[in-house]
Amino acid sequence: MTARTLGSRHSNPEKYQLLKAARPFSLVVAVLSCLQGIILGWQESSAPFLFTTAILAGGIFLQFAVNLINDHSDIRELDQRFPNASESEKRAIAQSIDRNYQLGIVCFLIATVIGLFLITLRGLDLLWLCLIGLAGAYFYTQEPINYKNRGLGVPVVFFMMGILMIAGSSFVMTGDFRISDLLQAIPLSILTSLLLLSNEIRDFESDKAVGQNTLTVRIGYQSAIWLYRTMVLLAYLAVLGLWLFEVMPFTGLVLISVVALKAPLKLLTAAPNDRLMITPLTGRFHAVFGILLLLSYLLPFPI
């Protein structure tokens, strides 16, 4: 069974293979978001190594869970996505999707256990934070809410995998919610939602064909390109603004990440068949920007 036999590049059955469905490259989102919160709260933490281990483990399992359940709704669209596939081939694809979904639920359960452990240490305030995070992660692609299909994926990911994860990690470290942590989470949160936007841009044609009403489908491809470029600019402006108002340190190293922008920006105007790499390249930009940003907290002097 090959991609050529079953459909277009967007309808490649290989995407449901476990490793591909887990999308390990996207772990950079959870790891960097958790690390920023950990760094923000490290000095005031009573048990920094214990909390760091639990935060990173919980964040990684939550990211895997989101990735593995992400394609579950595709089961209803197999006839559209794979018009040339036989019934036995479609059943095999459906079984792969179901397997990934079940493993995703297991990852959710593991993340929940870690969350309950942290709640025993930090109290019920963390319970509400965990409930919001788990619900937001699960209903991103699942009914009856399905944020992605309502065009809300980009803003929801900004808050759930960005602001909430960073400020929540800091809260676990310190036991306190701080406005400054919420503000410092903004630049990296913008790039977290940018990674999702790049995924929608890559899949624009296939999502539109099967009725997936993502934000990009709703606003149109050209508007999505404009939004992508605007979000990149806002990430840099946010770092500058927070530094000017002395909310966070600033490092000129962040500007080095511009070199990782050339490739994904070029692909924005490429033909559909040439856009396959826009998401991993945006992920690389996110990683470079994030690592340089976090270094600004660790260097003994600003650069």
Q: What is the pLDDT of residue 38?
A: 97
Phi and psi, residue 247, nearest 5°: -90, -35
Contact 93, 14 (CB under 8 A): no
- Tell me if residue 5 falls in helix, strand or coil: helix
Least Cα distance to 148 among 218, 94, 65 occurs for 218
Least Cα distance to 272 among 10, 70, 11 occurs for 10
The backbone region for 264, taken as left when phi is positive above 0, alpha when psi lies in -120 to 50, beta otherwise, is: alpha
Residue 145 has pLDDT above 50, yes or no: yes
Q: What is the pLDDT of residue 300?
A: 67
C-alpha torsion 181→183→184→188, nearest 10: 120
Kindly report the CA angle at 37 between 33 and 41, in degrees rounded to 5?
170
Q: What is the pLDDT of residue 78?
A: 79
Radius of gyration of the chain (CA): 20
Q: Is residue 187 part of a domain?
A: yes
Q: How many CB atoms lie within 10 A of CB 47?
A: 11
- Tell me if residue 240 falls in helix, strand or coil: helix
Q: Is residue 303 part of a domain?
A: no
155 vs 83, more confident: 155
- pLDDT 10s digits, 182-226: 999 999 999 999 999 999 999 899 888 888 899 999 999 999 999
d(CA 42, CA 164): 17
Tokens of 262: 């050339």
Average pLDDT score over the chain: 88
Q: Is residue 1 part of a domain?
A: no
Burial of 300 (0-12, 13-18, 19+ CB in 10 A): exposed
C-alpha torsion 190→193→199→202, nearest 10: -40
Residue 165 has pLDDT above 90, yes or no: yes
d(CA 176, CA 146): 32
Q: Is residue 237 part of a domain?
A: yes
Average pLDDT over residues 239-250: 90
47 vs 302, more confident: 47
Q: Is residue 72 part of a domain?
A: yes
Q: Is residue 209 part of a domain?
A: yes
Tokens of 210: 């099967």
Q: CATH code at 76?
A: 1.10.600
Residue 114: alpha-carbon gap to chain centroid: 20
- Tell me if residue 203 falls in helix, strand or coil: coil
- pLDDT 10s digits, 246-296: 898 877 789 999 999 999 999 999 998 899 899 999 999 999 999 999 998
Q: Is residue 192 part of a domain?
A: yes
Residue 6 has pLDDT above 70, yes or no: no
295 vs 5, more confident: 295
Tokens of 124: 């019920």
Tokens of 154: 């980009």
Q: What is the pLDDT of residue 289?
A: 96
User: With bands split at pLDDT 50, 70 and 90, how would you rate the model's confidence at 8?
Assistant: very low
Residue 82 has pLDDT above 60, yes or no: yes
Domain that holds residue 239: 13-298
Q: Is residue 2 part of a domain?
A: no
Domains: count for the chain? 1
Average pLDDT over residues 35-57: 95
